[in-house]
Structure formats: structure tokens, C-alpha cells
Structure 1
């Protein structure tokens, strides 16, 4: 039996105890323990809440710190733009219809060349003269032969006329008339032969003049006075018929399929800032098996700045296309091909392969790989890595 039970048994009152200004007796002990447990529970709960708040605020601060450290990147959403299709090609300038001019006769020594490269000539104009001193004497001899033959023919005709008058009187037989007639005919034939010989010599002499087969521009002069030339000497002159020039633009197989005769083109010679308007007049029907390219022939009007043999760049219109249009700074490339960086919903950079098209003054046409609604890194893509977190900012802001 305890002391408390002894007191209760004896009918005595519990002893009162004063602690920190408060008075406790035996009757207050259960209530004080309950209050202590509640207080401890509240303290533990408050500690848990404080710990949660501390951890939550720390995570938010960490996220904020990471957001503050992420690089600010300018992005753009290009959408889709209707672009006038252009094909950029390079090639050489040449005469559209080149006419090589050489010796068509027996040739000889050149005594005169009245034209220079770059001169305009008319059809039939003399380009060079070959010595014809011997041929001229032969022509004079042939002319004299005509006179001799003509005299013989006149004499034969006179003898025939007299014989015909004597036939009626019976002094000349019919056989004599036939003989004189044959003599006359032979003399007339010899006149014609002599005339034909003279005409042949005159034609040969005329061929000693090298003349322009058509009007045009003299591109090359490959002969000098005093040179001996013949039919095997090769072209002495090269002409551009009518002065017409063309560009032989080399175009890829896929691009060539989009071209047709009649489309316009702008041609810019190398070293010049001046462009010339032309028109595609012929598209090559074949493809070079070595480089998979064909030729688009662009007709151009004459201009002194268009020099055959020179190099030029052409921009050929090829219809319209609707596609995303990006600045050149947004399109990157490496050994795997062209690509752009796209910022996803978590502000992470993702690489996306694209296929580029023509390059215009406004940017690069993206034929495939993106729809145009993405957030695409505009600049500094070369300093980013895939998966990196960034702070995107719109280019319009």
C-alpha cells in the first residue's frame, strides 16, 4: 500500500504543492499531464511546419537562382512566309550563236585586215584580204580567151551566113552548110567555156576575201598581216551573231526540274555590281552524269560589260513557295547537316535537323524540319549545347 492510499484511507486531504507560482495538489495531476502532452504535440507540429516551410523556400530559391543563372537567349517564331522562288546558279558567259570564220578558198598571204576584236560588222563585210596577184593574172588570161573564142564564133557565123545565101544559087551544097553550121556552134560553145572559166576564176578570187557570214560582234581575231593561211589554218575570226550573249548557268538536277523556258533571270558578272535582265531560252535536256547538273541557257542583250568567257552569277525565278523563313544566324550546320536550336516548354534547348532551301535577302527558306511555330534560337546557337536550360526572350520584346 502506497503513501497516497494511506492518506486517502485515513480521510486526510492531499498535500498542496506550490511550483513557479502555481499550486498543484493531487487532484490536478491527471489534468497537468494531458496539457503537457498537448503542448509537446503542438511544439512538434510547429517544428514540422517550420521545417517544411524552410525546405520549400530553399527549393524555390534554388530554382530562382538557377533561373537567374540561365543565359538569356533571343528566340523567334517565324511562322510561314510566301517567298518568290529563286535558284542561284553560276556559270560562264558566251556568245549565244557563235560563228567561226576561216579560209574557204585556197588561201595565201594575208595583206589586209580592216577589223579588230570588239568591232561590229555587217553581213558580207570584208574581214581580211589575201594576196591575189597570181589569180588576177589568170583572170585576165581567161578574159582574153573569151575574146578569142568570141572572134572565132563571129567568123564562123559570117561564113555560115554567106553559105546560106549561095545555097539558093546552087554554088554551095547542103553538106557545106551543115559543116559551117557545126563550126559556128563549136565556136559559140568555146565562148561559153571561156566565160565559165573566167567566172570560176573570179569566184575563186572573191573567196580570197574573208567576209562576215552575218552581222555581229567580232569576238576574236586570230590572224595578222603577212601570215600565210589556208583551209587548214582554223578559224581566223569568231563572231557573235547579232551580238547576242548568253549565260550557261549550271543548275542542280532537282532545281533544273523546276525550270522552264521563258522565266526571267538576273545575271551579275563577277567583279561588277550591275545586274542584267535576261530570260531562260533553253533548259538542258540531259544531266551530266559526273556532277548531276544541267545547263540553263539565259539569253542576254549585248552590253560591253558582258564579256564572253567571263564568270557570272544568276538568280532565276522558279515560282513561289510557302515555308518558314529564318535569318541566316539561326541556321547552323556541321558534319551531320543543317540544324536549328528549338526551346521547348521546359526552356531547354533541343537540336532539330532541317533542310534548307534558297537564300534570299530576307533569310534562308526552311523546306522541312520545322513547322514555323517553334521557338527557335535566333543568335548565339553555336555557344549552346543540347539540353541546356535557357531564359528565352522573344525578338519582338
Structure 2
């Protein structure tokens, strides 16, 4: 009984081992099948691509950039100096009281009026002066009567001196009396003329043909020679711009140079010419004054601010667009292309800046190939392919 049970147990154990071995074989078969499927798929993919491995990527070749260049040549460049300043009368005439003064009776003009030479501007009360003038005129008559009487007495005495009734000494006294009377006549006339002149000075007159700029007096005001200017006139209405010009620019200007003056707030320009240059330079601002004469126009108001463009001559120089001129801590420069296609730095000295570009007054001859606009991306020695482009025509 025990033997049968032991034998049955061994048989069962052997069967279990066989089952485990079978399960392991089946697992490996499944793995092998999966690998085979993957291999087939890989082969199919290779067939679709032609069955060749991809060629290795070629090494990139360095390309030489194309860069626009210009040959500036030489052209006439008008040198223009810009300046600002204050408008004023070219010859301002302050007019005040010339005599003793008094109370203003009447003011006859307003700012902006044109006046002739000698035209009354204001009248000071003349009642007292008129009476004094009348008195002086009356004293002339008195003196003339005394002189006539002395002359008559002298003539009668001369007739009697031959008869011995009057001595020669009496003749001399009567002659002296006549001469004194005539002197009093001359004195009375001089005093009358003085009073007329004083009364005339109570009428304030324009010293020349002018434009009235300012009026600082009203009727009823008490004025005297110490009252200052009652009127300010611009002789002939002539105006000027007192332009402040930098020291280095002032040296290139001359008398008669044309200028265009534009008042602030206006789009109109007025033509003028320099008539005087300051002989001194302000030590603080390093500027001098160029006085530009302008014909009268109501738009030109003394005291206003204006800008001027002064033509100071012309020179022959290359002109480049602003994009071609670079700058750094060493100054202004351009890139010039050599015959080998490599760029080199060329330091330049700039001049007049206008709508046409920047004038190069030093550093270029005008026949070089200058990089137009790509200078910021280049370095000295870089290789480029220059493509020449034309410069725009100069503006008139």
C-alpha cells in the first residue's frame, strides 16, 4: 500500500516537471516569432528605400556674401552753416524827451505805424512855454524901440557937434548908448529863439523815417529827460537776425554771404545777407554773432526767435549716403573694397550733412568702392562679392 502511494507520487512529480518545461519552450517560441516579424519588417523597409544605407551628409561649403557698393565720385557741395538767434531792428532808435518835459497832452502814433522824419509822435503841454515865448517876442519890440531912439539921438547930436553945442564926448556916449540898445535887440531875439526852441522840444518827433516798434507813454503822464525812451523805432523798418555762430563756423563766413531766415512757428523763409560779423568770441559759449540784414515784413517781429541757414561757399568732395558712414570711439570710417574683394577700414572726415548725404572732406578720393549699407555686419579683411549700385541724383 505504501509502495503504490510512493510510486504514484513520483509519477505525478515527473508530469509536473514536464509541464514546466513545456511552458518555457512555448515562451521562447513566442519571442523568436516576434523577432522574426521585426526582421521581416526591417527588410521590407530597406527594400522600399532601395536597400541602400543613407550617404553621409556632405560638409557645408562657405559662401561669399554679395554686398552693395558705391563709387561716390566728386561733386560740388555747398557748405551751409546753421545758426539760431533773435530778431531785432537793424538800427533801433530810442526816442525820449529832449527838454524839461512836462505833462503829455497827446500821443499821436501806435506800434506798427510808419512815420516820416520829423513827424510828431507825442505833444507835451505847451501853455507855459507859449507864454514865455510871447514874452520874449515882446521884449524884442521893446529893445528895438530903445535902439531906434538911441540912433535918432545920436544923429541929432552929430548935427550939433559942428556948431559947438555938443562936445565930442557926448557923441561918444550917445554912440555907446545906441550900440547897447542894438545889443539888447539881439539879446531879445536870441531869448525869443531859445523859447521857440524849447517849445518845439515839447513836441516829440521822429528823427528819421521809421517803423514804430514800442510806445511807452500815455496822455497825462509826467515826463522829463530822465524818463527814458518813450518810443522805440526801427529806422527804415530794416530788421536783422543776430545769429549765434560757433567759433569754427564763424571763421568761414564773410560779409555779404546769403542766408535764409525762418522765424519760429512759421514755414516762410526770408532772404537776407550778413552785414556784420562779431569781432570777438564769447569766452563762455565759444560763439560769435553774425548779423543778417532782412527786409521789412510784418511776419518779422523783433524779439522773436529764428533759425538761419547761411551759405558759406562750395567745395568738391565725395558724398555718401548716411548708411555708408559708420562711427566708433576712434571716429568716422567707411569700408572700402579692394581688388581682391576684401574690405578694409578707411577713416574719414565728414563735412556738410544734407538731404543728398554726407560730404566726405577727408579720407576718400572718390574712386573707391565703398560698402553701402552692410558695414555693421563686416569686419576688416572679410571676403565679399561687390555689387555696384548707382548713387541717387543730387537734389536741387
Q: Structures share a fold, TM > 0.5? A: yes
Structure 2 residue corresponding to 1:284, chosen from 278, 286, 296: 278
* Change beyond 3 A, Cα 1:376–1:224: farther
* Change beyond 3 A, Cα 1:212–1:386: farther
Which residue number in structure 2 is paired with residue 194 of structure 1? Answer: 188
For 1:338 and 1:234, the matched residues in 2 are separated by 55
Is 2:343 aligned against 1:342?
Answer: no
Structure 1 residue corresponding to 2:315, chosen from 301, 321, 345: 321
Q: How many angstroms does 1:344 deviate by?
A: 5.3
Structure 1 residue runs of 5 or longer lacking an equivalent are 1-52
- The answer to whether the 8 A contact 1:341-1:349 is kept is no
Structure 2 residue corresponding to 1:294, chosen from 288, 293, 296: 288
Aligned residues: 334
Which residue number in structure 1 is paired with residue 301 of structure 2? Answer: 307
For 1:169 and 1:384, the matched residues in 2 are separated by 131
For 1:187 and 1:310, the matched residues in 2 are separated by 63
Tell me the alpha carbon deviations over residues 91-148 of structure 1, each in whole angstroms, 9 at most, x when there is no partner. Answer: 2222222222121111111111211111211111111111121111111111121122
Which residue number in structure 2 is paired with residue 238 of structure 1? Answer: 232
- The answer to whether the 8 A contact 1:77-1:376 is kept is no
Structure 2 residue corresponding to 1:375, chosen from 367, 370, 375: 370
Q: How many angstroms does 1:355 deviate by?
A: 3.5
Which residue number in structure 2 is paired with residue 148 of structure 1? Answer: 142
3-state DSSP of counterpart to 2:60: helix
For 1:220 and 1:359, the matched residues in 2 are separated by 41
Q: How many angstroms does 1:198 deviate by?
A: 1.0
- The answer to whether the 8 A contact 1:143-1:195 is kept is yes
| Residues 378-393 of structure 1 aligned to structure 2 (within 5 Å) | 378=373, 384=377
For 1:286 and 1:162, the matched residues in 2 are separated by 77
For 2:256 and 2:59, the matched residues in 1 are separated by 71
Q: How many angstroms does 1:255 deviate by?
A: 1.9
Structure 1 residue corresponding to 2:88, chosen from 86, 94, 99: 94
Which residue number in structure 2 is paired with residue 177 of structure 1? Answer: 171
3-state DSSP of counterpart to 1:223: coil
Which residue number in structure 2 is paired with residue 257 of structure 1? Answer: 251
For 1:298 and 1:157, the matched residues in 2 are separated by 67
For 1:78 and 1:54, the matched residues in 2 are separated by 49
For 2:271 and 2:115, the matched residues in 1 are separated by 25
User: TM-score when scaled to structure 2?
Assistant: 0.74
- The answer to whether the 8 A contact 1:338-1:356 is kept is no
User: TM-score when scaled to structure 1?
Assistant: 0.74
Q: How many angstroms does 1:203 deviate by?
A: 1.0
For 1:370 and 1:256, the matched residues in 2 are separated by 26
Q: How many angstroms does 1:340 deviate by?
A: 5.4
Tell me the alpha carbon deviations over residues 156-210 of structure 1, each in whole angstroms, 9 at most, x when there is no partner. Answer: 2222222223333333333322222222222221111111111111111111111
For 1:310 and 1:329, the matched residues in 2 are separated by 37
3-state DSSP of counterpart to 1:286: coil
Q: How many angstroms does 1:369 deviate by?
A: 4.6
3-state DSSP of counterpart to 1:280: strand
- The answer to whether the 8 A contact 2:337-2:386 is kept is no
What is the aligned-residue RMSD (CA, Å)? Answer: 3.1
3-state DSSP of counterpart to 1:58: coil
Q: How many angstroms does 1:350 deviate by?
A: 7.5
* Change beyond 3 A, Cα 1:277–1:97: same
Which residue number in structure 2 is paired with residue 58 of structure 1? Answer: 59
For 1:185 and 1:232, the matched residues in 2 are separated by 42
* Change beyond 3 A, Cα 1:329–1:229: farther
Which residue number in structure 2 is paired with residue 20 of structure 1? Answer: none
Is 2:78 aligned against 1:84?
Answer: yes
For 2:221 and 2:379, the matched residues in 1 are separated by 73
Structure 2 residue runs of 5 or longer lacking an equivalent are 1-54, 392-396
- The answer to whether the 8 A contact 2:121-2:206 is kept is yes
